[in-house]
Chain A
Amino acid sequence: MKKIVILGAGTAGTMMANHLARKINHREWSITIVDEHRSHYYQPGFLLLPFGFYSEKDVVRNKADFIPGRVEFLMEKVELIDPRNNRIQLLNGKKLDYHILIVATGAKIVPDEIEGLEDSWHRDIFDFYTIEGAKKLREKLANWEGGKMVVHLAEMPIKCPVAPLEFTFLSDWFLKKKGLRDQVDLTYVTPLSGAFTKQICSDVLGHLLVEKNINLVTDFSIERVDSQRKQMVSYDEKKVDYDLLVTVPTNMGDPLIKRSGMGDDLNFIPTDKHTLQSKQHENIFVLGDAADVPTSKAGSVAHFQAEVLTGNIMNFMKGKAFQHSSDGHANCFIESGDGKAFLIDFNYDIEPVQGRFPFPILGPFSLLKETRINHLGKLAFRWMYWNLLLRGRPMPGITTHMTKAGKKLSSLNKEYTHA
């Protein structure tokens, strides 16, 4: 019996377990998936939880409920990957041999990468990238009386790169509804030169910041936080004052990757962006946030990657050449506050444009336009996540590879496409 081992039963690992369980020959291959945690959190919900849209029970399920019966699920921390011996070492001392390894251990925030951040962590400084952070922030916001609110992101790449900007728009909306907006000076601070990584979105979204009276500080590369003075200080001595700081600290791959000597400086694994095979070991594959591929770290990306990778692993098992290629396809709803949202769709080569999605003309969603139905789409995404995505089922009308139908590609001038 040959073995497939999947590390991480988060978004990507769970989808792979579901896809492969349907495809493989169970007389020849077995699948084992390992994760250290019992609960699966719907991370996109962490964006909305601090404002009271969701409670914890809306965003949590049992991991085991999403793992198919024919897959063995081990709840244990992975201590080491030993690629030379094709072996995994678990914290409990147990060892697992594999023929094919799939790494889906994700990314997490590392607050102690920034000096001073931990001094008033979850007192005046909060994150919304963890369930603890999101819950603490909800308490804080419920009782907050106003002042300088700063939303900040430390360095790229981060999971769901639009989330901090969405959080800023939602804060504006939340504060307006509470009648507190006049007492709050709201500022968005980014290390990038614009409001967002993608130039065309930066233009559209940057405009919204002005409309909503939100200050924008760009090119801010944080060195430390002075929690006594309540001040962020950059490497070139620029300073930003806060009363309430909501930050997205550095995102890194799990320390396991570092321990195993498999990562880059941020513990992300060098991975072929098309085949999703690790660049160092031919029987190791990587998908989701753990990979270093140049597209957004997002659940939607993991969903498209899982379909491609399943095909490639089936090829690999039969000793065939890889026939499937990932194009970095991502589509994300962007909450812009006031009950509206944007939707963007892009891949490695094509930047977001206007148009209709997923069906040309019919939509119902509009690309790169602020609409109410896009906001409803974002809310519906939670249902799709639990019921379709995790179980490795296709989303209606949405293809693995990005389609050009319904998109106004002519609006792309050269500047926006990298060849």
Chain B
Amino acid sequence: MPKKEIAGVSVDVNEEDYLTDSSQWNREIAIAIAKGEGIAILNDFHWQVIDFLQKDFEEKGTLPTIRRMNKAGGISTKELYEYFPDGPLKKASKIAGLPKPQSCV
């Protein structure tokens, strides 16, 4: 399993730099990953999304869909695309230290 130094800590990641052990995640790491994804500053909306993803993942054991984030988390889909441009779920889950969303069948 490859390791990578993010925000001064060495963490376990997969080939696409998604954390493989979410217990290694912290807010500094999130900020650093976000920068790498082209998001310079994490605002309240970003944190709301990250919190919801983590909470829902813990409860359900799977990542929510964008539809679920809207229906259950009250997260506006429009804003999601605005603040996490180009593949919001992929980006947000990476920043939240969660696995990459699997495309369905």
Q: Do A236 and B85 form a contact, CB below 8 Å, given A155-B67, A223-B77, A265-B68?
A: yes
Contact for A219 among B72, B80, B86, B105, CB less than 8 A: B86
Q: Do A418 and B102 form a contact, CB below 8 Å, given A155-B67, A236-B81, A265-B65?
A: yes
In angstroms, Cα B85 to Cα A212, docked, is: 31
- In the complex the two chains form, is B102's CB within 8 Å of A161's CB? no
CB neighbours of A221 from chain B (8 A): 66, 77, 81
In angstroms, Cα B87 to Cα A219, docked, is: 7
- In the complex the two chains form, is B105's CB within 8 Å of A197's CB? yes
- In the complex the two chains form, is A161's CB within 8 Å of B105's CB? yes
A295 beta carbon closer than 8 Å to chain B: yes
CB neighbours of B78 from chain A (8 A): 223, 235
B43 beta carbon closer than 8 Å to chain A: no
Smallest Cβ distance from B104 to chain A, in angstroms? Answer: 4
- In the complex the two chains form, is A198's CB within 8 Å of B105's CB? yes
CB neighbours of A261 from chain B (8 A): none
A156 beta carbon closer than 8 Å to chain B: yes
Q: Do A265 and B72 form a contact, CB below 8 Å, given A221-B66, A235-B78, A236-B82?
A: yes
Q: Whose C-beta in chain B lies nearest to the C-beta of A346?
A: B105
In angstroms, Cα B68 to Cα A94, docked, is: 35
Within A239-266, the residues touching B (CB, 8 Å) are 264-266
Contact for B105 among A236, A265, A296, CB less than 8 A: A296
Q: Whose C-beta in chain B lies nearest to the C-beta of A328?
A: B105
Within B85-105, the residues touching A (CB, 8 Å) are 85-87, 102-105
In angstroms, Cα B82 to Cα A223, docked, is: 13
A interface residue numbers (CB < 8 A to B) = 155-157, 161, 192-193, 197-198, 219, 221, 223, 234-236, 264-266, 294-296, 330, 418
A–B Cβ pairs within 8 angstroms, 7 of them: A157-B105, A193-B87, A197-B103, A197-B104, A235-B78, A265-B67, A295-B105
